[in-house]
């Protein structure tokens, strides 16, 4: 970042909210990734918006980071600025059957809040380790539920025109692991979730059941970014990978999970290079066997991560 831009950042953020050469392995659930030049940690939405305006206008490269649970960052890191919207920008308000949730709120926290308030509908999201912002962006889903089922509207910052707009569900272009946010330069600031009243004991029972399924089926004991690939139409990625004989296959410390072949895990000190080589290998092998090209669900940041 040039000196003039840095001076403007200092007008918005206190110096201790600016991290230099920050290892991205500390901000990703894969526990992988070299340093980003700068990470900015706003404490209030107004600060985040001011930073987004500044960077959008400057044309300098920036990346919006949530909880890093769907992200592979290059070992060489990122030559640009990361704006963090995670626990630093979280909060939940209740209005009747609706929750107004700030983008950095963990989905697990919002689900726990909903349970406490006797509101049902978020059970599917209680075990997804992302933020509300990341969840809306990805239209995260599990066990038959997706964010699109509970999002009533989303407040977005539009990096093209610097305006904040409220977009209703039907205009969010929600589809499988896709939303309007992925189509342009938008940042999720908050969302209104429409839930429905139910007995807390019934909500808790459903959450516990889904948690049990996750713990028994997914390699939660290892760092990962969840399902590595999207589900190809008519197939299951994990089954295709298993059928290609790749269960347990590893390159360095990057390994196809023995427990769930749809997950690439970091079994110790994996590098992004090992993970991307493994991803390429899986794609080639699965294509050779089935004719299907698996598409990564995991987002990539930095150099050298091309397929
Ligand atoms: C163990 C494990 C289990 C998982 N299970 C599931 C599952 O069941 N279902 C599922 O769908 N996913 C699952 N995931 C993947 C991941 O948790 C989700 O995709 C989640 O929604 C990502 O949120 P995040 O805040 O971590 O986003 P990040 O990984 O930080 O970012 C992902 C993308 O969203 C963008 N983004 C993040 N926040 C914002 C924002 N406020 N505005 C605009 N763009 C933003 C980023 O730029 C990036 O492109 C799992 C991951 C792990 C590690």
In sequence order, what DSSP letters do the residues of 232-269 get, joined into one string? PTTS-HHHHHHHTT-TT-EETTEEE-SS-TTEEEE-SS
pLDDT at residue 289, as a whole number = 96
Can you say how many angstroms the Cα of residue 69 is from the centroid of all Cα atoms in its chain? 5
Strands 263-266 and 254-256: antiparallel
- What residue owns the CA closest to ligand 1's atom 33? 134
Closest by alpha carbon to 123, among 212, 191, 188, 190?
A: 212
Whether 225 lines ligand 1, by a CB cut-off of 6 Å, is: yes
Whether 66 lines ligand 1, by a CB cut-off of 6 Å, is: yes
Closest by alpha carbon to 302, among 52, 54, 35, 83?
A: 35
Closest by alpha carbon to 89, among 22, 17, 19?
A: 17
> Domain 90-202 belongs to what topology?
3.30.465
Domain boundaries, the chain: 3-87, 90-202, 219-301
Give the pLDDT mean for 111-134: 98
Give the pLDDT mean for 39-55: 97
Would you call 153 helix, strand, or coil by DSSP?
Answer: strand
- Lookup result for tokens 């995260």: 140
Give the pLDDT mean for 246-272: 98
Burial of 123 (0-12, 13-18, 19+ CB in 10 A): buried
Percent with pLDDT over 90 in the chain: 99
Q: Which of 227, 257, 274, 285 is catalytic?
A: 227
Centroid of ligand 1 to alpha carbon of 11 (angstroms) = 30
- Lookup result for tokens 């918006």: 49
Give the pLDDT mean for 75-96: 97
Centroid of ligand 1 to alpha carbon of 128 (angstroms) = 8
Active site residue 297: yes
pLDDT at residue 1, as a whole number = 87
Matching CATH number, 219-301, of 1.10.10.10, 3.40.710.10, 3.90.78.10, 3.40.50.150: 3.90.78.10
Asked if residue 116 lies in contact with residue 204, where contact means CB atoms within 8 angstroms, the answer is no
Cα dihedral 228/26/276/232 (nearest 10): 10
pLDDT at residue 286, as a whole number = 98
Q: Which CATH class is domain 3-87?
A: alpha beta
Residue 231's φ and ψ, nearest 5 degrees, are: -80, 115
Active site residue 69: no
Computed over every residue of the chain, the mean pLDDT equals 97
Token digits of residue 87: 């626990």
Beta strands in 33-138 (DSSP E): 35-40, 62-65, 71-73, 78-84, 92-95, 98-102, 119-120
Active site residue 227: yes
Token digits of residue 250: 């590893």
pTM to 2 decimal places: 0.96
DSSP 221: T
Give the pLDDT mean for 138-155: 97
């Amino acid at each position: 970042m040039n000196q003039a831009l840095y001076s403007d950042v200092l007008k918005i953020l206190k110096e201790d909210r600016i991290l230099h050469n920050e290892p991205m392995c500390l901000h990703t659930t894969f526990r992988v990734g070299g340093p980003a030049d700068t990470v900015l940690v706003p404490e209030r939405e107004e600060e985040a918006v001011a930073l987004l305006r500044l960077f959008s206008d400057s044309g300098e490269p920036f990346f919006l980071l949530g909880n890093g649970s769907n992200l592979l960052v290059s070992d060489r890191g990122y030559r640009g600025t990361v704006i963090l919207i995670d626990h630093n920008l979280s909060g939940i308000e209740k209005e009747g059957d609706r929750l107004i949730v700030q983008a950095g709120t963990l989905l697990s926290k919002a689900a726990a809040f909903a349970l406490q308030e006797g509101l049902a509908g978020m059970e599917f999201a209680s075990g997804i380790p992302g933020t509300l912002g990341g969840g809306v962006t990805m239209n995260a889903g599990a066990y038959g539920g997706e964010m699109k089922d509970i999002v009533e509207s989303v407040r977005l910052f539009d990096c093209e025109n610097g305006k904040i707009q409220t977009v209703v569900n039907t205009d969010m272009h929600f589809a499988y692991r896709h939303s309007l946010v992925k189509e342009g330069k938008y940042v999720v600031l908050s969302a209104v979730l429409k839930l429905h009243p139910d007995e807390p004991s019934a909500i808790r029972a459903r959450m516990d059941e889904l948690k049990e399924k996750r713990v028994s089926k997914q390699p939660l004991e290892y760092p990962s970014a969840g399902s590595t690939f999207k589900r190809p139409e008519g197939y299951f990625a994990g089954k295709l990978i298993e059928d290609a004989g790749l269960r347990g296959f590893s390159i360095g410390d990057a390994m196809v999970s023995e427990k769930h072949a749809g997950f690439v895990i970091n079994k110790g000190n994996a590098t992004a290079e090992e993970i991307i080589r493994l991803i390429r290998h899986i794609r080639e092998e699965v294509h050779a066997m089935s004719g299907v090209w698996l598409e990564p669900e995991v987002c990539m940041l930095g150099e050298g991560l091309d397929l």
